[in-house]
Structure 1
């Protein structure tokens, strides 16, 4: 028997700006918004998957949503939490276990930097005492090497962040909604060379929910469904250089992002050249640069020409992070991967408002990457 087709029939999102609401309140709001968008009641959901890193257990949302007995699985997979919840919901639809499934991701992080504990990552306490749990340091080392090997300039990193803030201005849900130019970004204070303060995202808050349906249910609804052609999650292979890596072997590192993207395109029967709009993990500016090539959208080093030319802007040949990405929205860990999918759904529906990509885009791609080397990718079509 062939697998069921999976369609996104409802999408809900909250503001990512700082508010007094807790993470669970945000999640409930996002779920209710997604259900309303789909035109379905909570009682119609047959399976639910969701999670957060720091804001509580997703399954407890039933206390507010309704005690229907629905199977609700908690997911916690770092920055790929939302993507992993989505993959789980897709599996429920494809297998025929559910005809309506929910994926929800949410978080509310305290102000300041993330403070991971070495023991949670299988590392000795000395790893933290020696200062190696500092994620900004890892991101800087990785992009330093990449810039050296492929001729990427610091100004190109600043232009990535400049674009993110410009797109955030157009996004009513974004946290950072003021334009910042490349010169100010370069002068904003060095955190870890070559990454300055305004090149980084910040821990934040927000929630996103998606309602998935099979074709039979989607055909009964009045909305505008978007086909979810592929959803995959992969962990690192040997030879990768990842967040919290205690060492890296000689030679070119393997890439979990490249692995996940390649498999997503294979599953969808499409390639990078078929994509009209995409979302790439941009924990900081260097991540977006590297992920453009790792996900197959350009050759290594081509970013130095493409980004200054405006190719990745909303009106460019390949718009990237049209909603401002993590840099403008902040990173509530559980929500980020689903925020990316929500944005692609809105773009393919033609409902992205001031940030709408021209020309009626019909294909989209999302990519999220997180510690200690996990990536989730999706391919969607109108």
Structure 2
């Protein structure tokens, strides 16, 4: 896949909770921002794809963007909606079926925990009535087990969260722009031991969009094109311990993140050691710790050194979640994965402002994970 498809335009609206606008309006604005960034207009687009969990059907945005007859595909793949939409556009352009494509993701979620239909997840109604569908409990159990098995200190959770809020304070699109210290985070309410209030992200509103084209023409439209070197989505296999999984198998298996990351690196012909910057799913602070290893960026148990030595900070060897991640931005499901891509594109271009990492990164990783055990990884290069 390397160098076949390029990202030539990006647009991202502020994340948070919209009061004076709607998520549809913000999705349209994100698309127009991406088109302006690419120097194109809506009639130039040959293919469009996008998704949302609760913000409406993405294809209906043509009412505002223009009735051009463009093929528009709706995608919903949980937290991997944005990445799955990107993959659809990449394959369409690489096949020669389109020259220019728009990818858009948006969502609007109310306060409180996400609601789910256990039957729609292949589970019995008992799974919800007994309280097992409260995902914060799953995340807490998963990180408890992981910290124990790999002899990692619980203090890493506050360090990860504090980094997220520091980075978010430098991001004008972030919802949470107030830095919080480790002491602030440790003093917040315990929700699901060991996860405290500021160690969990919030549902919210947001919108992001990309413009893609055939890589052969990329420099006609952008002086700094970014190439999609590899992108893959995978579902769970037997023995993996996943959100909304009703039991724990006696046989251990790898997470879908492991499979998705391996596939993306293989497509790209790039090793995890080549990655200069990474955005990984941090629905909770523990998730960032786990996903650092599952994506191959470190070995299990090495996270304490990475985090406590400052290597995952903006100035470190491997900056992680440089825009504040889900912890600072919230998680509007349809937009979250594209927010990561937007951040990586800005970092690779050298346009990330106050949060720009040093030494102009060349390889960036984006990773998302969600229910009921599904993951996607995308490798970008410049």
Deviations 1:259-296 (A, max 9, x none): 10011000000011101101000000000000000111
* Residue 17 (structure 1) aligns with: 16
Preserved contact between residue 3 and residue 95 of structure 1 (Cα < 8 Å): no
After the TM superposition, which residues 168-187 of structure 1 pair with which residues of structure 2 at under 5 Å, given as runs? 168-187=168-187
Deviations 1:140-164 (A, max 9, x none): 1110100110112221111000000
**Aligned mates of 1:339, 1:3 — CA distance in 2:** 22
2:323 counterpart SS class:
coil
1:3 shift after superposition: 9.0
Preserved contact between residue 201 and residue 330 of structure 1 (Cα < 8 Å): yes
1:234 aligns with 2:230: no
2:273 counterpart SS class:
helix
1:217 shift after superposition: 3.0
* Residue 191 (structure 1) aligns with: 191
**Aligned mates of 1:112, 1:293 — CA distance in 2:** 30
Preserved contact between residue 78 and residue 370 of structure 1 (Cα < 8 Å): yes
1:372 aligns with 2:372: yes
Deviations 1:38-77 (A, max 9, x none): 0001001101110100100000000000000000000011
1:124 shift after superposition: 1.1
Preserved contact between residue 8 and residue 227 of structure 1 (Cα < 8 Å): yes
1:214 shift after superposition: 0.2
* Residue 339 (structure 1) aligns with: 339
* Residue 135 (structure 2) aligns with: 135
1:234 counterpart SS class:
strand
Preserved contact between residue 55 and residue 106 of structure 1 (Cα < 8 Å): yes
Preserved contact between residue 159 and residue 307 of structure 2 (Cα < 8 Å): yes
Deviations 1:107-166 (A, max 9, x none): 011111111121221111111111110000000111010011011222111100000000
1:368 shift after superposition: 0.3
**Aligned mates of 2:101, 2:234 — CA distance in 1:** 22
1:82 aligns with 2:74: no
Q: Which range moves more in the overlay, 2-11 or 27-36? A: 2-11
Deviations 1:297-317 (A, max 9, x none): 111111112111111000001
* Residue 266 (structure 1) aligns with: 266
**Aligned mates of 2:3, 2:181 — CA distance in 1:** 47
1:186 shift after superposition: 1.4
1:33 aligns with 2:26: no
1:17 shift after superposition: 2.4
Preserved contact between residue 2 and residue 229 of structure 2 (Cα < 8 Å): no
1:4 shift after superposition: 7.5
**Aligned mates of 1:189, 1:220 — CA distance in 2:** 52
**Aligned mates of 2:276, 2:286 — CA distance in 1:** 22
2:155 counterpart SS class:
helix
After the TM superposition, which residues 276-315 of structure 1 pair with which residues of structure 2 at under 5 Å, given as runs? 276-315=276-315
**Aligned mates of 1:294, 1:179 — CA distance in 2:** 28
1:267 counterpart SS class:
helix
**Aligned mates of 1:320, 1:219 — CA distance in 2:** 28
* Residue 48 (structure 1) aligns with: 48
1:154 counterpart SS class:
coil
**Aligned mates of 1:300, 1:142 — CA distance in 2:** 14
Q: Which range moves more in the overlay, 242-251 or 307-316? A: 242-251
Q: Which range moves more in the overlay, 241-250 or 320-329? A: 241-250
* Residue 126 (structure 1) aligns with: 126
Which structure 1 residue ranges, 4+ long, deviate > 4 Å from structure 2? Answer: none
TM-score by length of 1: 0.98
1:251 shift after superposition: 4.4
Deviations 1:315-348 (A, max 9, x none): 0010000000000000000001110011000000
1:381 shift after superposition: 0.7
* Residue 93 (structure 2) aligns with: 93
1:216 aligns with 2:216: yes
**Aligned mates of 2:78, 2:256 — CA distance in 1:** 14
